[in-house]
Each structure stands twice: as structure tokens, then as C-alpha cells.
């Protein structure tokens, strides 16, 4: 197994539309295993192929508290949705940004497992949010697309600055500076760690 690099906004590859999976073979099993390893290590509760530059309709997720309920959705589609709720979401491809996003409360999904077996499942709560978020990724859509242009631009600049600082070796001063900026920009850190998708 291997950890895969996660693409970050505004990487244009995150705008790619994923293609359906056609062969359910050992190579697919390997990608799925790597995606789980990457997701758990990040840590996040879900990961879409697009985020690791694999442009096929593959979603892995585990929204359980004990992290012992891995779920794979291949070629997933939502066939029913009900209600709506606004909740804070984070994204592994938009690090350290949490925004309230409106999603359906309950969804019914149709998908295939890693062997190609079709299944249908009803999802609520965080699992429903997570699947909707990951399906957006597979369509080339990001959490920032739900925000105003101004906010999106602010996030892009913030992430670019953080990346530059990381590339510069993250000296003590840079870290201090970043912490100061973070305190200024986000006075109320209400980050639900379990909602990074």
C-alpha cells in the first residue's frame, strides 16, 4: 500500500470529471487500498479519486467514530434525496477551511463495490453529507464553488501563502507569522476534525 499525494485547490486537475470504472480487477483493488490508507492518514472521513489524481468514479469513506467501517462506492449515483440541512464541512483539498454548506439530509445511493457487485444504501447524517461532497469531487466541483467569488479568492491566496511558507522550509518565524495570521483570519476555530472530507 502507498500514501497518495492529495491535490489541493486551485490545482486544475481537481476540475477533471471522473470516468466510470469498467474493470473490477486487482489494479482497482490496489487503488482503493491506497485511497483508504491516504484517507485514514490525512486524516479525513472520505476521499474521491479526483483528489489523488485518479480520474475514475471511486469514493472511499468511513464516517464511524472508531474508524472501523470502511465503505467503497464505485460508479455511485444518488437516486433519491430528501430534506436539507446546513452544516460545516472541511475538505482535504482545501486544507484548514471550514464552511457551512447546504446538503440533502437523507440520500439513497446506488453504487458498485470493489468486485463490481451493485448495491443500494440509504445514508443520513455525516455519511450523507460525505457522499454528496465526494460526488461533487468526481464532477470536478469543490466546496469553494458554493462560496462567493470574493471568499474563494481569499481562500486561494491564503492556501498559496501557506504553500509558499511550507516550501520555504517552515522556519520558526514563518510558523509564528502563520499562527498570527490564522488567529487574525479565523478568530473562532470551530473546526470539527471529523468533518474533513
Residues that bind Zn ion (CB under 5 A): 91, 197
Q: Is 176 helix (H, G, I), strand (E, B) or coil?
A: helix
Q: Closest CB to Zn ion among 59 and 91?
A: 91
CB-nearer residue toward Zn ion: 4 or 197: 197
Whole-Å CA distances, 35 to 13, 80, 86, 143, 194: 17, 27, 28, 20, 17
CB of 115 to Zn ion, least distance (A): 26
CB of 92 to Zn ion, least distance (A): 6
Enter the C-alpha cell of residue 144: 469553494
Name the residue nearer to Zn ion (CB basis): 25 or 145: 145
Give the active site residue among 8, 88, 134, 153: 134
Check: CB of residue 57 under 8 Å from CB of residue 138: yes
Smallest separation, CB 45 to Zn ion (Å): 10
Closer of 55 and 181 to Zn ion (Cβ): 55
C-beta of 119: minimal distance to Zn ion in Å?
A: 23
> Quick one: 91 or 123, whose CB is closer to Zn ion?
91
Residue 111 C-beta: closest distance to Zn ion, Å: 18
Contact 3/41 with Cβ under 8 angstroms?
A: yes
In angstroms, rounded to a whole number, what is the distance separating the alpha carbons of residues 34 and 152? Answer: 30
Grid coordinates representing 148?
462567493
Decide: 113 and 72 in contact? Cβ < 8 Å.
yes
Catalytic residue status for 85: no
If we measure between CA atoms, which residue out of 155, 175, 157 comes closest to residue 165?
175
Distance CA 97, CA 95 (A): 6
CA distance 119 to 76: 10
Q: What is the set of active-site residues?
A: 134
Amino acid at each position: 500500500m502507498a500514501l497518495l499525494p492529495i491535490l489541493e485547490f486551485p490545482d486544475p486537475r481537481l476540475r477533471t470529471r471522473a470516468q466510470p470504472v469498467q474493470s473490477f480487477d486487482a489494479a482497482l483493488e490496489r487503488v482503493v487500498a491506497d485511497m483508504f490508507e491516504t484517507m485514514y492518514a490525512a486524516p479525513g472521513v472520505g476521499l474521491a479519486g479526483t483528489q489523488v489524481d485518479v480520474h475514475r468514479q471511486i469514493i472511499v469513506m468511513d464516517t464511524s467514530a472508531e474508524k472501523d467501517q470502511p465503505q467503497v462506492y464505485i460508479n455511485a449515483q444518488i437516486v433519491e434525496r430528501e430534506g436539507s440541512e446546513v452544516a460545516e464541512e472541511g475538505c482535504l483539498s482545501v486544507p484548514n477551511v471550514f464552511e457551512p454548506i447546504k446538503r440533502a439530509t437523507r440520500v439513497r445511493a446506488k453504487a458498485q463495490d470493489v468486485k463490481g457487485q451493485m448495491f443500494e444504501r440509504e445514508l443520513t447524517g455525516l455519511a450523507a453529507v460525505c457522499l454528496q461532497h465526494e460526488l461533487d469531487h468526481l464532477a470536478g466541483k469543490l466546496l469553494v464553488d458554493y462560496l462567493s467569488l470574493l471568499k474563494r479568492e481569499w481562500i486561494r491566496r491564503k492556501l498559496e501563502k501557506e504553500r509558499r511558507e511550507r516550501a520555504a522550509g517552515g522556519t520558526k518565524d514563518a510558523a509564528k507569522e502563520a499562527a498570527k495570521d490564522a488567529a487574525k483570519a479565523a478568530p473562532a476555530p470551530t473546526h470539527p476534525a471529523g468533518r474533513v472530507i
